Amino acid sequence: MNSNELAVLCWLALSTGVVHTLIGADHYVPFIAMSKARHWSLTRTLAITALCGVGHVLSSIVLGVIGIAAGIAISKIDGIEGTRGAWAAWLMIAFGAVYALWGLKRAWSGKTHTHGHLHSDGDPHQHEHSHRGDHTHVHSEGARKSITPWVLFVIFIFGPCEVLIPEVMYPAAKGSAWGVALVAAIFGAATITTMLATVAIGAFGLKQVRFGFLERYAHVVAGTMIAIGGLAIQFLGL
């Protein structure tokens, strides 16, 4: 494999990594929606996004490497990726629907209001509470564990990067392990960087928007958006 071919593949990996992330709203909408609904700081939002992005890319890289090592045809790997994509979509639909229903129950369980303050890191933050019980607000992650980030991580582990497979198969066919590693690394870096940039812009912008009494339905909106994203992937191929 000559240097010109490798250069073309690297540029292709970079461009497809950016484009496939931007056109796939599932790469950023869940994080932006959850950041708003759960009042995550921007730092926490980006950390969760990065974790899910790494899982998303690595799962496809591992599958591609196994396929290369086992001599599996690209059509069969694409079939596996398609199955993984369907599972990811259904998981997203289920999670979004359950989360929206939980949010609806929470919103109807008692009248709430929100107020804001600054964290020590300077990040503006809001939380809601009702007056049906004690007014407590705990920031400690140990006292306020949530499985939401891990559910998103599992969904993204299933989510395939279909465009990556043919890009790593070409240098593999040429016997270039270095080419496979470089193309996969560039694609992964482009995908995760684009996810982080898009989520940062979206989450920061949405934090500036106040919805008044509708804030109590933030969880419902977040869950609905995630479920709609899953439906779009499953039935519209977006």
pLDDT score recorded for residue 140: 39
Torsion angle defined by CA atoms of residues 224, 227, 233 and 238, in that order, rounded to the nearest 10 degrees: 10
What is the spatial distance between Cα 122 and Cα 138, in angstroms, rounded to a whole number? 17
**Number of CB atoms found within 10 A of residue 125's CB:** 16
Does pLDDT of 237 surpass 70?
Answer: no
Helices 177-207 and 164-173 cross at an angle (nearest 10°) of 160
Per-residue pLDDT reduced to its tens digit, 49-88: 999 999 999 988 888 888 777 776 777 777 777 788 888 8
What is the spatial distance between Cα 92 and Cα 223, in angstroms, rounded to a whole number? 9
pLDDT score recorded for residue 85: 82
The percentage of residues in the chain with a pLDDT greater than 90, rounded to a whole number, is: 42
| Selected residue with higher pLDDT from 160 and 157 | 157
pLDDT score recorded for residue 116: 52
Q: What is the DSSP string of 48-102?
A: HHHHHHHHHHHHHHHHHHHHHHHT--HHHHHHHHHHHHHHHHHHHHHHHHHHHHH
Average pLDDT, the chain: 82
- Residue ranges of domains in the chain: 3-110+150-236
Name the amino acid, one letter, at 193: T
**Number of CB atoms found within 10 A of residue 177's CB:** 11
Alpha helices, DSSP H, located in the chain: 3-23, 29-37, 42-70, 74-108, 148-158, 164-173, 177-207, 218-231
| Selected residue with higher pLDDT from 26 and 215 | 26
**Number of CB atoms found within 10 A of residue 191's CB:** 27
pLDDT score recorded for residue 210: 77
| Token pair in block for residue 229 | 């994203």
